[in-house]
Amino acid sequence: MGPIKLGVIGAGSAEFSAGMVRDICTTPSLAGSSVVLMDIDEGRAQTMHRFAQRYVHELGSSVSFEWTTEREVALRDADFVINTAQVGGHSQVERIRAWCEDRGYYRGFRLSAIIQSRFMVSVARDMERLCPKAWLIQASNPVFEGCTAMTRATSIKVCGLCHGHGGEYAIARVLGLDGSKVKGVSVGFNHEIWLTQFEYEGRNAYPLLDEWIETKSTEYWRGYRPHYGENQMSPAAIELYKLTGLMPIGDTPRNGGWWLHQHLETKRRWYGGDGGFDSEIGWAQYLENTNGRVDAIHRAVGDPSVKLTDLYPPKPTGEQHFPLIDALWNDNETVLQVNVPNNGAIKGIPDDVVVELPAVCSHRGIQPIQVGKLPDVLTLNQLYPRLLRAEQTVAMALHPDERVLLQMVLDDHRTKSWDHAVSFTRDALALPEIAELVAEMTRPTHPFAAR
């Protein structure tokens, strides 16, 4: 079908947008497409627009770009929308995290996930007015909760994408296997996916993993100091495999259970080195590296002597956004890892819950593989508890109720007592970042003060 009109919400996210510009410009079947870059930060929107214009000029691409600070301009009559926005950016998330830590919740609480999920729903509701037939591709987190909320609250076609899959290749590297001969299938929820099929040269490769654990893992972990983002073969991942019978993939080992995350020393035990991606050390490294890459993009844009196509070669980044758009729009059929409503794909999971799994994508839409029943021990001990936490966040996003928030706090292993939970909940409701949520909130019959 040729060109599309694409709206990008949160286009000031420089690292993502730079990759997006490369990807659409190197997808021949999308030549002539028009892209509207939207961000509430005018300076960031203009910077990414200049990046796109220069990149297009250097490449001789026919893709056109414009920028705006108005969401409506980006959405009106769009064929596709990519939402990569994070409300308040990292600064707001870190501010809320610090507030929670001061009250005893190491590495934060789920307040930012509620805020972000509500924002995602607002974008989807605007799409119902302005581009009701468009596909919404959700790029920013929380993909699981946000996509579930959007598909329940609106009629918009939603697909969440994440690059936290493909961990079977990391496993293969450690095992010394040829990655080209590896096949893996991972299913579950976003950041909670499990390797249901692991093959090497057409045969079950789990015995090879078992042998490595038995004979080589101890030596591998001796002095284990991985890159802050590497956790696929961490002690945490292997312990979760032993507990469930399936290997956790990608970001999944970062979750697992509270016992992996009590404090920094616990994190060091399970993730090695500085405690992994989600420790205060690992996350600070991530933010520093991310800010460094973003600064490099801004410097390059501001220096006319720099050739952007030299710094950012015109080849696909490996992200799935434009292969998905190409498949849905131009019928270039492909199999991708997606987040879409379950609709019977995984037995025992409600149909209106968004699951992550491989799917055939084409002009006919997104057709997930049929998974069937997963092992009971995995479902009961990992998927259902994770689903309950997601349902609480979705409930707070769609129908905020301070009783639900209080129960979320009471369920948290870091909560010391009823009084601690009540105090934290009451103080959280006074935060300016959730004032809009509080304005819509259902109040209990008996206020906290009367209990």
For residues 419 and 421, what is the distance between their CA atoms, to the nearest angstrom? 5
Beta carbons within 8 Å of 283's beta carbon, 6+ residues apart = 277
For residues 58 and 279, what is the distance between their CA atoms, to the nearest angstrom? 41
For residues 28 and 19, what is the distance between their CA atoms, to the nearest angstrom? 16
Catalytic residue among 39, 79, 251, 326: 251
Let me know: does 280 contact 34? Beta carbons within 8 Å: no
Q: Which residue has the tokens 């009540």?
A: 422
Q: Which residue has the tokens 């799935």?
A: 320
- Give Cα separations from 432 to 86, 96, 444 (angstroms): 17, 10, 21
Is 41 assigned a catalytic role? no
For residues 300 and 327, what is the distance between their CA atoms, to the nearest angstrom? 33
What are the structure tokens assigned to 177, written together? 């296997």
Let me know: does 341 contact 151? Beta carbons within 8 Å: yes
How many C-alpha atoms does 254 have within 13 Å on its Cβ side? Answer: 17
Is 331 assigned a catalytic role? no
Residue 444 phi/psi, 5° resolution? Answer: -70, 160
Max Cα–Cα distance, the chain, nearest Å: 69
What are the structure tokens assigned to 190, written together? 């976003």
Catalytic residue among 41, 57, 77, 163: 163
Let me know: does 196 contact 372? Beta carbons within 8 Å: no
Helix (H) or strand (E) holding 83: strand 80-83
| 400-404 own/partner pairs: CB under 8 Å, 24+ apart | 400/114, 400/437, 400/438, 400/440, 400/441, 400/442, 401/441, 401/442, 402/429, 402/441, 402/442, 402/443, 402/444, 403/442, 403/444
Residues in the chain: 451
Helix (H) or strand (E) holding 43: helix 42-59
Q: Which residue has the tokens 């930060």?
A: 41
For residues 352 and 3, what is the distance between their CA atoms, to the nearest angstrom? 32
Angle between helices 280-301 and 89-101 (to 10 degrees): 160
Q: Which residue has the tokens 């805020």?
A: 115
Beta carbons within 8 Å of 102's beta carbon, 6+ residues apart = none
Catalytic residues: 163, 251
